[in-house]
Structure 1
């Protein structure tokens, strides 16, 4: 992409905020082929004009605030590379014969695709999309349990029916995707009913893991799910700031980093 003038960048940013409700600095920098510092300056300018609200790590539409919740399809296009690497790293936690719960999310969706070949797996999920991934794989050794409930914008099934189904179960592992995570507010979501369901999953799991890319750090949703120390493991990518990794290691405990593969150019250099 040819270098854009500031006014052109501003139009693109405003368009993305209008379309998604919330945008992240890293995404915009990649779309515009500029540095994250340039994007932050643009956001500061636009926030000064009252066009958007600048938040840690990005910006959101005026009035969207912490309740802003992009749809599943929109989120599916965000941080796709990081999500795939996180899913590959988290797949090591899933072994044959386990019972595993997945909440609805695009990173857990990516992980589901990697677990379809795991034999004798019992899957519990409140995501019709994730259930469909396993149904389509047709691994006859697997058992799929889909909770009922009312569907949210992120395609999660929530409400009394979902809660009643989960409270009867006990799973070996619960893998949770989140909207945001901060030192102050822990893991959060924009949807109150999703928060209730996620907490119920946490209560009924022997081990718990959060899968979240670096852009989730510093983002706060409307509703708290749990503090950082409520989970056993956080699986994230190598762009998460070192200070955030250190904080998670002191709270959650285990932090698994999904590193980007080295390019052939670098590999050739190291072998020279």
Structure 2
């Protein structure tokens, strides 16, 4: 009987992986009604058979290459409800008269849509898609600064032109989307030029706020942007696992769960 139960659990884990591409130990324990230790044993068994790849706090079907990055349109559909919740939490920090920066990303894109009615706002971005949101809103009190640069697969403008523009600016708040975050590697991206541009955004800002949905935890990109402890805040989804919450609260001044 125990063997059958284990087999059934493991089948449900694989089904969840096919649906989500990544699963967390804490979420599986809740869904299956078992302890986290039991889930870890199931993941170990599945990993031994080559059915999945274990990562920090959970598992994926395949080990994602650190330099792999899906396009903007693909990412836009992932965790859309959570990204909206993060954006709604983030917009509360934006006040009339501020200058803010938004790097290119689908969560910062969601935030841009929440900011179009804020008066006397100056927005610096390296995302043509984000700039277009503000241009379409046509709020006459807003100033939009789009950096130049070479366009990446994630629709970011990067390289020397972007760096030159950002080195001349200073903003009150930076909202930065990232590809991945771990305790060891901090906040990361698969693209070296994007990492350099994001670091320039950080240098140009008085306060830095990372926007990342819960699936970004335990994901590592090729290039580090910044360690966890060197930004002011992270806004993420409340489905992020408990172990991650502990690590993030120890590393950051502010953790906001949306």
Does TM-score exceed 0.5, indicating one fold?
Answer: yes
Please tell me the TM-score bracket, short chain as reference. 0.7 to 0.9
Q: Deviations over 1:158-195 (max 9, x none)?
A: 11111111111000110001111111111011111111
2:57 is the alignment partner of 1:59: no
Query: Counterpart of 1:89?
Result: 89
* 2:51/2:61 contact within 8 Å kept: no
| Equivalent pair of 1:88/1:111 in contact (CA under 8 Å) | yes
Alignment-derived partner of residue 145 in structure 2: 145
C-alpha change, 1:47 and 1:192, in structure 2 (3 Å) is: farther
The separation in 2 between residues aligned to 1:72 and 1:12, in whole angstroms, is 24
Q: What is the correspondence of 1:166-177 to structure 2 with a 5 Å cutoff? A: 166-177=166-177
TM-score (norm 2): 0.82
Secondary structure in 2 aligned to 1:209? strand
Residue 184 of structure 1 aligns with which residue?
184
Task: Number of aligned residue pairs: give it.
Answer: 243
Contact 1:10 1:42 in 2 (8 A): no
Q: 1:92–1:68: structure 2 CA closer, same or farther, 3 Å change rule?
A: same
Structure 2 unaligned blocks of 5 or more = 1-7
Indicate the residue corresponding to 1:130 in structure 2. 130
Indicate if the aligned counterparts of 1:234 and 1:254 stay in contact, CA closer than 8 A: yes
TM-score by length of 1: 0.78
Q: Shift in Å at residue 214 of structure 1?
A: 1.4
**Where does residue 241 of structure 2 map in the other structure?**
241
Q: Does structure 1 conserve the Cα–Cα contact (< 8 Å) formed by 2:82 and 2:213?
A: yes
Query: Alpha carbons of 1:152 and 1:117: their partners in 2 closer, same or farther (altered >3 Å)?
Result: same
Question: Which 4+ residue blocks in structure 1 deviate beyond 3 angstroms?
Answer: 6-14, 34-58
For 1:257, the equivalent position in structure 2 comes to 257
Is the CA contact (8 Å cut-off) linking 1:25 and 1:40 kept in structure 2? no
- 1:113-124 equivalence runs, <5 A: 113-124=113-124
